Amino acid sequence: MTTPRLTPLAASLPADVPFVGPETMEREAGRPFRARLGANESAFGPSPRAIEAMARAASEMWKYSDATSHDLRHALADRMQAEPDQIVVGGGIDGLLGTLVRLTVAEGDAVVTSDGAYPTFNYHVTGYGGELHKVPFRNDREDLPALLARAAETGAKLVYLSNPDNPMGSWHDAQTIEAALDDIPDGTLLVLDEAYVEFAPEGTAPRIDPEDPRVLRFRTFSKAFGMAGARVGYASGARALIKSFDKVRDHFGMTRPAQAAALAALGDGGWLTEVKNRVETAKTRISEIAAANGLVALPSATNFVTVDCGADGDFARAVLGELVARGIFVRMPGRPPQDRCIRITAGLTEELDALEEALPKALAAARVRQTG
């Protein structure tokens, strides 16, 4: 009998994915969630201009997309104070991370990340045979000095830092990152994931010359721009590295409607400001709901709030399970001690109403489970 002729590396990998999607969870439960507060999407949606642009572009779906994303790259270059040939566009940050790892990581190559940081990056590294070296969080933040020190110890090709951070919502200011640039080991690339930077305080995004070969920074339309389903991400970096993406990237991976919508979204600064304000309002309410239940909301520079459940990971998992059972989709950090928390996305008023109603019941049930 013929079997799949996988490479030895592929055959050795587990057949799983970094995240189980809420749709899968709804199918398994046989009912929809009352509140979708787990994936850090923007419930406030994309700019109306983006929706209109996508609708217009839909009639041209018979055409292949512009493989160079010319207009979008030029607009993004202005945003990033870069040149168009210092920008690459791809299928979300996830897709671009996969392309970067394919370009740079061979079997056995060292890569450094934080223990409990974004798992999709790890998924790509192990998928290409890289060896992950993990550094613990320090005070609920990614420990940048320790990450760079481990990169020097291991000769790492890549070192991953998200700023602001998922899953804790913490952040480093621009000065901290700028001061650390000279500590990046020779031959190591800092992979700077700025997916949530639009929500961060002024002075979070560092000033880095796009041509600096030590850093590649990633951003997305999935969060503040409300276009997670369109899969549009971009990276800014040195020309030689950006050009190398052409060696292996999916040249027609960006759809015409997604390109058009992203370009329109960039031109609607008023909508972006409105979304950021609504996110801040929702985060304040989540913090108030947490406090009313004796829980502590951690400071957040993102579109979610990480809530300390006040015990260990087992208790937080029980709280999460009880919330999910009550139709409230949330997630949580995967590694201790951060797994003492749950993570709640800024949502619509009616979703937060449902959270407010369900949380005390979930906490009570979780405490019964622990004592029982």
| Burial environment of residue 8 by CB neighbours within 10 A (0 to 12, 13 to 18, 19 or more) | exposed
Query: Considering only CA atoms, which of 233, 159, 150, 145 is closest in space to residue 196?
Result: 233
Query: Considering only CA atoms, which of 201, 215, 273, 262 is closest in space to residue 234?
Result: 262
What pLDDT shows up at residue 2?
78
Nearest-angstrom CA–CA distance, 314 and 78: 47
For each of the domains in the chain, give its residue range(s) and CATH number, in order of start: 8-45+270-371 (3.90.1150.10), 49-268 (3.40.640.10)
Nearest-angstrom CA–CA distance, 279 and 353: 15
DSSP string, 184-221: SPTT-EEEEE-TTGGGSPTT-S----TT-TTEEEEEES
Give the type of residue at 180. A
Percentage of residues in the chain having pLDDT higher than 70: 99
What pLDDT shows up at residue 158?
98
What pLDDT shows up at residue 17?
79
What pLDDT shows up at residue 53?
98
164 token code pair: 């602001």
| Burial environment of residue 195 by CB neighbours within 10 A (0 to 12, 13 to 18, 19 or more) | buried
What pLDDT shows up at residue 372?
66
What pLDDT shows up at residue 19?
83
Q: What are phi and psi for residue 310, nearest 5 degrees?
A: 85, 10
What pLDDT shows up at residue 70?
97
Report the SS3 class of residue 102. Answer: helix
| Burial environment of residue 107 by CB neighbours within 10 A (0 to 12, 13 to 18, 19 or more) | exposed
DSSP string, 278-336: HHHHHHHHHHHHHHHTT-EEPP-SSSEEEEE-SS-HHHHHHHHHHHHHTTEE-B--SST
121 touches 191 (CB < 8 A)? yes
Strand 158-162 to strand 189-193: parallel, antiparallel, or no bridges (unpaired)? parallel
Give the residue ranges of the chain where pLDDT is below 70.
1, 372
What pLDDT shows up at residue 3?
82
pTM beyond 0.75: yes
- Angle of helix 349-371 relative to helix 269-292, nearest 10 degrees, comes to 30
Query: Please, what is the end-to-end C-alpha distance for the chain in angstroms?
Result: 51
Residues in the chain: 372
